[in-house]
Amino acid sequence: MWFVQPKKNYVPEMPWERTAEPEVMSWQVRVRDYNVLVANIAFLVITLLSGSVWFFSAYSFLGEDEYMPAVCVAMFFLMTPVFMGMTHQTSIIVYRLTDKGYEMFSWKPQIDSVKPVMKWTAIVSGVAVLVATFFNPYFILGAVGPAGLGLIALSMGNASSYQELVRGAEHCSASWLDVEEVALWRKRRLIGLRFTFHTSEGVTQNGYRTLYCKKGEKDKRVAFIREKVSEVPYVERKMEVFEGGMAI
């Protein structure tokens, strides 16, 4: 689930670039690294629309069918976690800090759970269609759906470019010497390090690189960073958060 922190320690597995620099501290966290207010509103709207459709369908079947109203209500509750999976996606982010700088790796783990769900859905529904075919040969046409799900799951497992896309993999490495400001948003346990970026198109941009902290650890993390960049300003403020480890 989106709110469960990963038990596996990913720190030793990351292909760190700063391996020559001794590690001072490292941690990993699973967070919704984007504007959660917008996502929560989207989830509310989708849920209300879905509820309206399914409960209207249930009402329309009252007095006509014994089971369909219950089926419609059950479908609403079954679809709600699916909608939450769309609006409450999370990223696993791993940080490693040294005396000279820091590194970050992040990715979305949802693809790892979607593939087996699609595979087993294809298998179970395929068996159901096969059994139904013994009673009515025309049910063989229904095998198109399970076969399609199976092919999609197979392509998801083998296409590295697709996995990279849906994982939203990100990597960042920066020196403390380039930090221009340190910001802390206590409500979201979020540290922002302001940098100036020069894009390949020759455009200069300025913004925060984000470091998410676990509960009770933000003061320890920000104290270490402030020690390394003691000459730059420090502020406590709310930040506008974007995917990809950026904020303004």
- The residue type at 182: V
- Topology given in CATH for the domain delimited by 20-108+168-247: PH-domain like (2.30.29)
List Cα–Cα distances, 158 to 114, 152, 163, in angstroms: 14, 10, 8
97 vs 57: which has the higher pLDDT: 97
Q: Which two tokens stand for residue 229?
A: 């960049």
CB 107 within 8 A of CB 170: yes
What are the extents of the domains in the chain? 20-108+168-247, 109-167
What pLDDT is stored for residue 113 in this prediction?
Answer: 56
CA angle 220–224–229, rounded 5-degree value = 145
What pLDDT is stored for residue 183 in this prediction?
Answer: 98
76-112 pLDDT, tens digit each: 777 777 677 677 788 899 999 999 999 999 988 765 5
Instruction: Report pTM.
Output: 0.71
Instruction: Give the pLDDT band of residue 28 (cuts 50, 70, 90).
Output: very high
What pLDDT is stored for residue 120 in this prediction?
Answer: 55
By C-alpha distance, which of 126, 78, 86, 80 is closest to 108?
86
The pLDDT > 70 percentage for the chain reads 70
What pLDDT is stored for residue 169 in this prediction?
Answer: 80
| Mean local confidence (pLDDT), 120-130 | 55
What pLDDT is stored for residue 231 in this prediction?
Answer: 95
What pLDDT is stored for residue 162 in this prediction?
Answer: 42
